[in-house]
Structure 1
Amino acid sequence: MNTLIKKELPAKRKFWLNDMEAIVIIMILLVIIGTINIFSASFVTAEMTFKNPYFFLTRHLISIVIGLAAFFIATNFDYHRLRAAVPFLMAFTLVALVVVLITGVSVNGAKRWIGIGSMQFQPSEIAKIVGIVMSASFLGAKIDADKIITPFNRTLLIVLIMAALVEVEPDMGTAVLVAGIPILMYVVAGMNVRWIGYCGIAVALVAAFMITIQPYRMERLKSWYDPWSQSQGVGYQTVQSLSAIGSGGLWGMGLGKGVSKYSYLPEAHTDFAFAVFSQENGLIAVLVVFVLYMTLAIYCANIARRAHDGFGKMMACGIMLLTVGQAAANMAMIIGLLPVVGVPLPFISYGGTSLILNMASIGVLINIGRYAAYKAAKEKNTIAGGMITIKTNQRLRRLK
């Protein structure tokens, strides 16, 4: 029996081997950019405050090491097991959010950190991730069972309680993320349009209430429209941020040569780290970082689309919304499109807890992508094996 041998065409060359490799490389690039920028933005403050220009850099490098360990653990840990851990994660987060209000380290009038020896961690950062895991577990089960999704459930109530505890710290920016990302996940999961409208109205009313109960928030909102009218008051950060960005021009002043970090721009290595980056590296470098975040969003969406279960889909969506959403909010804040909300730039702003959890989240995303690829390959092999069996049986019948 003659066999027709077809010459296979060479596979089309790809920039990445797969979505997971793309996400890992983007994360590494952002961490490298962030590390360089954090040192450049912080060495003046570190020298003036701690007599050690490497103070923040050293702590950041320690966080990277811990973050890498968390990343590798997450990539090899079956993400389905997170569903069983939801009660523990929920209880731990609620306890931590209460403890920080009682015994937390107070900085600028806010209690957001719990001290452990020489290190500190932020329970509100944990609440962001736990809220996503809880919501993904609930929504994933609804998607798999093809049931109607409504906002009236115990899971969302607990998420809102966590957000309320974060708001008491006070930290409105993080509270909005703790509650907002899960609500967006409900929208992505296919919640009825009517309930989406009701949620939108409720969110608007709550936001208005949260702004009015704190006078400084109303002042920030007023200065948002014209920060130069209060350039020495609540509009100071926005004015200094815009000045830093504008002075950077197309190519920047040069790495380490920016002047805004010399006590002009508050929080130069944390919330406004990207303003320093813009001043020293210019518009071209800013566009490169912007493209990295956009590319990250695309590959995260690909993994969410290919996930084989509702939990994986919603986890991937939640991680994408959190990472890219924070990036968009931070960039909008430093150019004045949003009021000052205190949202860090993932992988680039200084913050140990945030960095570690962001890297762990990317690890979970890789785990979801690996499992989806494994399931797809297994199904493909099963189909191929079935086709071979059918063709073999057909040939045997013809020979008979």
Structure 2
Amino acid sequence: MRKMAFWLGPNEAVLVISLILLIIGSVNIFSASFVLAAEMMDDSYYFLLQHAKAFAAGMLGFSLIAWLGYRRVAAFTPLLILATIGLLVAVLVFGEDANGARRWIRIGIKFQPSELAKLAVIIMTAVYLGGRLEKRLPISLFSPPMYITLAIGFLVLRQPDMGTAAVIVGLGIVMHLIAGIPRKEIVGLAFVGTGVFTYFIFAAAYRADRIWAWLNPWNYQQGIGYQSVQSLLAIGSGGLSGVGFGKGASKFYYLPEAHTDFAFAVLCQEVGFIGATLVLTLLAGLGFYGIKIALAARDKQGMMLAIGVIVLILGQALGNIAMVCGVIPVAGVPLPFISYGGTSLMINLLALAFLISVGRSCRQPELEESQPEESKRPHLSVVSRPKFGIPQKGE
């Protein structure tokens, strides 16, 4: 029975689901990129090979984190934050300019520091919130990690990259919400957040134009709405079962960024509703088993770390799919494991390693069998005043 339980455990489920998503993503990246790769690099396999290199590098980091354990790695959080901020400043000064944006820097390899910032914010916030929860101290949104997160988000916004900045700040906010903050802070957050969001949208003309194109892309289909319209056409042409692998027309220069931000549109066109539903089901399964790992975590630091990883992966997935389907405006948010992006893939693999490490630390059958059921799961909320989050017993 224990052998069967091993194969059905959350850790193994996360690994299997991630592997399937990686395989689907690799196949889709090749299909979406081989035309562009052949013309630009004279090698149809160029982007697939780059993807494979990033996967190999990510797996080295994955193995190292899995071996060391999340507690040992988390001990270096201050150094990680300093390195992240240093790289974000460096990219503004020395980064490669692409269409007026500086988002990449060469440090032996082409690296996108804003992707590292996502994981750094998760680790920093998990360490802080985990410590507060363990000591039964109140949680507030006005915390040192939140201030640092806002500073990091500002540096990313200067690149400019509003989509990634929103993801980074959103990670910090959501993790604080889940840990439990006072309701009055939630109300204040709603008002301030709405005001700040509105300001940043209309502070730059190109962002405001994206809003108008999102509201009615067909009126802008020969201009700023072109990408959204082509994405919708690609999704619609896939039908139930798709046109077949490699046979989609959208990648033949109709759909910009077909192998990166809009890879899901190519997938929908070639494998249809059935294939898209499979990917969505796998992502939902990853979230389900990730939550199981978080609830069974050995300590609250591990619990918050697992929650942060799931929020990162599912949040980006929902954002990307909503963007591709025209539900939200176009923003540079990749679909984890499906979109091409070397740094993004490496960071997602490292994030998975932390999730697996949390899961491994709580797999102690003998200890769990000797404990009462109530003691196996840490409670999120630890203060008695009104707040957001999972309430304590008796509240």
Relative to the length of structure 2, the TM-score reads 0.91
- Whether 1:137 aligns to 2:127 is yes
8 Å Cα contact 2:6-2:12 kept in structure 1:
no
1:82-117 CA-to-partner distances (Å, cap 9, x unmatched) read 332111011000000000000001112110001134
SS of equivalent residue, structure 1 residue 113: strand
- 1:204 deviation in Å? 1.6
- Name the TM-score, length of structure 1 as normaliser: 0.90
Asked whether the equivalents of residues 82 and 133 of structure 1 are also in contact (C-alpha less than 8 Å), the reply is no
Deviation for aligned residue 1:351: 0.5
1:87 is aligned to 2:81: no
For residue 319 of structure 1, the aligned residue among 278, 295, 309 is: 309
Give secondary structure in 2 for the equivalent of 1:358: helix
- Shift, 1:340, TM fit: 0.4
| CA distance in 1 between partners of 2:6 and 2:210 (Å) | 44
Supply the distance in 2 between the matched residues of 1:109 and 1:54 (Cα, whole angstroms).
28
- Superimposed CA distance per residue, residues 284-312 of structure 1 (whole angstroms, 9 cap, x where no aligned partner): 00000000000111111111111121111
Structure 2 residue matching 1:373: 3-state secondary structure: coil
Deviation larger for 173-182 or 77-86: 77-86
CA RMSD of aligned residues (A): 1.6
Instruction: Report Cα offsets for 1:42-82 as digits up to 9, x if no partner.
Output: 01111111111111111001111111222222222221123
In structure 2, the residue matched to 1:109 is: 100
* Aligned sequence identity (%): 44
- For residue 219 of structure 1, the aligned residue among 206, 209, 219 is 209
**Selected match of 1:60 from 38, 44, 51:** 51
How many angstroms apart in 1 are the aligned matches of 2:342 and 2:2?
42
Q: Distance in 2 between matches of 1:360 and 1:35?
A: 18
Matched, 1:377 2:344: no
Counterparts of 2:199 and 2:84, CA distance in 1 = 25
CA drift of 1:200 comes to 2.2
CA offset at residue 259 of structure 1?
0.6
Query: Where do 5+ consecutive residues of structure 1 fail to align?
Result: 1-9, 384-400
Residue 69 (structure 2) pairs with residue 78 (structure 1):
yes
1:14/1:257 CA distance change after superposition, 3 Å:
farther
Shift of 1:378: 2.4
Distance, in Å, in 2 between the alignment partners of 1:99 and 1:360 is: 23
Q: Select the structure of larger CA radius of gyration.
A: 1
Q: How does 1:243-392 map to 2 (within 5 A)?
A: 243-374=233-364, 377-381=366-370
Q: Does 1:42 align with 2:33?
A: yes
| Paired letter, 2:352 | I
What amino acid maps onto 2:282 in structure 1?
A: L
* Higher mean displacement: 65-74 or 186-195: 65-74
How far does residue 12 in structure 1 lie from its aligned partner after superposition?
Answer: 12
State the Cα distance separating 1:342 from its structure 2 match.
Answer: 1.1
User: 2: distance between equivalents of 1:80 and 1:102?
Assistant: 34
Q: Is the 8 A contact 1:267 1:273 kept in 2?
A: yes
Q: Are residues 1:30 and 2:2 paired? A: no
The corresponding residue for 1:156 is: 146
1:194-249 residue CA offsets vs partner (Å, 9 max, x unmatched):
11221222222211111111111111111111110100111111100000000111
CA separation in 1, counterparts of 2:371 and 2:292?
Answer: 23
3-state SS, counterpart of residue 319 of structure 2 = helix
For the residues of structure 2 that align with 1:72 and 1:290, how far apart are their CA atoms?
27
Tell me which moved more, 177-186 or 46-55.
Answer: 46-55
> Aligned to 1:196, which of 183, 186, 197?
186
Structure 1 stretch 74-83 or stretch 313-322: which is displaced more?
74-83
1:7-56 Cα distance to aligned partner (Å, 9 max, x none): xxx78977942000000001100110010000110011111111111111
Amino acid across the alignment from 2:125: S
**Contact map agreement 1:143 1:310 (CA 8 A) in 2:** yes
CA–CA distance in structure 1, aligned partners of residues 70 and 219 of structure 2: 50
For residue 158 of structure 1, report the CA deviation from its aligned partner. 0.8
Distance 1:70 1:284 in 2: 34
Aligned residue pair count: 372
Is contact 2:65–2:73 with CA below 8 Å preserved after alignment? no
Give the ranges of 4+ consecutive aligned residues of structure 1 lying more than 3 Å apart after TM superposition: 10-16
**CA 1:377/1:369 → structure 2, altered by over 3 Å: closer, same or farther?**
farther
User: SS in structure 2 opposite 1:357?
Assistant: helix
Q: Deviations over 1:332-388 (max 9, x none)?
A: 1111111101100001100011101101111110110110113x53253588xxxxx
Q: Distance in 1 between matches of 2:2 and 2:105?
A: 53
